[in-house]
Amino acid sequence: AEHICPLHISGKIKDHKNVSIKWGALKQMYNAIMTYHSKSGEHWDNECGANISGVLVVESWGKYIAGNAHMKPFHNKGWEFLEYLEDIFPQG
């Protein structure tokens, strides 16, 4: 990694531990989305996320995210990295 060190502009230099933590967080988010998507009757698309609208659905979503906090940001938006991780972890 020393050969790319001159390209580093700002911030802390990343080591194995930093990269491992970031990779773990990305996998955890991916698994949370795939688990939600695989549940019967649950909607997911990468533009609108879970597409939560309506009083009953909002109430149900609130109960779901109480135990699945990783999904909270995706009530009405997708995840920018999902397509990339789907390429890494193909389904089927």
pLDDT in tens, 38-75: 988 888 999 999 999 888 889 999 999 999 999 999 99
Within a domain: 6:
no
> Which residue intervals of the chain are DSSP H helices?
16-38, 55-67, 82-88
Residue in the structure block whose two tokens are 């970031």: 22
Within a domain: 51:
yes
Q: How many domains does the chain have?
A: 1
Within a domain: 21:
yes
Within a domain: 1:
no
Within a domain: 63:
yes
pLDDT in tens, 13-23: 778 898 999 99
In eight-state DSSP terms, residue 89 is: S
Owning domain of residue 26:
15-88
Within a domain: 9:
no
Q: pTM score, two decimals?
A: 0.79
Nearest of 87, 91, 92, 85 to residue 28 by alpha carbon:
85
